[in-house]
Structure 1
């Protein structure tokens, strides 16, 4: 008998050029048993104008990016805005996390500045949380109104006094989860997915992505 052709996968744009974020989404989908979704990164589509991330919250910035990606590509688009909120700094760096030192994406400089700002803060006051807001924007049929979903995940921990570990990215080397003695950069990818802020947020998108794959 001839083989039955498999259904084409639904391409979903991930509004990021970070390959680790694409792999993270694939692991979350695999763990949830979701099939039929093909994540696509920004490097795989033609460039388009990106609106400045001027939102006051993670949720606002995630929606800015997801709306841009969906409008430009015509594909459903997932975007996240995430960062670290430190109790002793009144929730900062917050939405400024990626450019805390003045240059976007300068992980080592951002981390060094954060540690310098916390030099005199005692260990029992070094609490904080990683926060991630993930937005999914699905273009409406025939140019109709888009469907928008925004979810949030948080991961509580404390800020170490020096970086540890080679995994992860961003502030992972100085973030120690409340239920562990290792930094986030010392966890395996699977351990991080199961506990992290972005993993929690992406997991909350799974029902919508499962429904999208079945359309």
Structure 2
């Protein structure tokens, strides 16, 4: 791609992770950081919130933009924290506080009922060069696993230290960046987006 994709996020961890994922999936493609205001994320699904953020970036900057909305869905909690993952701790919300709160809430839940899934929705918004309606696309990636009983590992961010991916003995925070980039919900969602990017921007995108 000759024009860098704009990632609508102020999260430095996500920016670094997406730059690695995009670089591996589309060699030569680059990702710029969004420097505009944070939109109000009042959608009720991951897809809706991703679209809100991507639209805001296009309105602010004018270039094609993508955004993700992601979180962890715990089966025994009916899919919560879900879209509220980053705000699970309320006024005290932080990665550390959110993880500890979730583990406390599931302290008495047996191992066989601790299934959880990381979910990532990515929205791509491409403004029309002729001034017509923007083209909008959404894709979703899911990374199944279980919730551990204590934090393990120092890598990653968010709920990574308490999430053990399906088929793994390590937590997501114990994986290398390269391993995580190949397995994560964001990587799975972006792989689903690649054919759309190639259709929008050409085979060499």
TM-score range (shorter-chain normalised) is: over 0.9
1:22 is aligned to 2:15: yes
Equivalent residue runs for 1:195-214 within 5 Å: 195-214=183-202
Q: 3-state DSSP class of the match of 1:40? A: strand
Show the counterpart of 1:122. 110
In the aligned structure 2, how far is the partner of 1:130 from the partner of 1:69? Answer: 25
CA contact (8 A) 2:22 2:30 kept: no
Q: In the alignment, which of 31, 34, 37 is matched to residue 27 of structure 2?
A: 34
Show the counterpart of 2:132. 144
Offset at 1:160?
A: 0.4
In the aligned structure 1, how far is the partner of 2:155 from the partner of 2:64? Answer: 29
Offset at 1:199?
A: 0.7
Q: 3-state DSSP class of the match of 1:130? A: strand
Stretches of structure 2 lacking an aligned partner (at least 5 in a row):
none
1:100 is aligned to 2:93: no
Deviation string 1:118-163 (CA, Å, 9 cap, x unpaired) is 0100111100100000000011113211011100000110000111
In the aligned structure 2, how far is the partner of 1:30 from the partner of 1:90? Answer: 35
Larger Rg: 1
Moved more, 16-25 or 191-200: 16-25
In the aligned structure 1, how far is the partner of 2:159 from the partner of 2:13? Answer: 14
Stretches of structure 1 lacking an aligned partner (at least 5 in a row):
1-7
Deviation string 1:60-104 (CA, Å, 9 cap, x unpaired) is 110111111111110111100000000111110000000000048
- Give the direction of change, closer, same or farther, for the CA distance of 1:29–1:104 in structure 2 (3 Å limit): farther
Show the counterpart of 1:86. 74
CA contact (8 A) 1:10 1:213 kept: no
1:13 is aligned to 2:6: yes
Offset at 1:212?
A: 4.5
Q: 3-state DSSP class of the match of 1:10? A: coil
Count, aligned residues: 203
In the aligned structure 1, how far is the partner of 2:183 from the partner of 2:93? Answer: 23
In the aligned structure 2, how far is the partner of 1:196 from the partner of 1:77? Answer: 21
In the aligned structure 2, how far is the partner of 1:111 from the partner of 1:177? Answer: 16
Scaled by the length of structure 2, the TM-score of the pair is 0.92
Measured on the aligned residues, the alpha-carbon RMSD in Å equals: 1.8
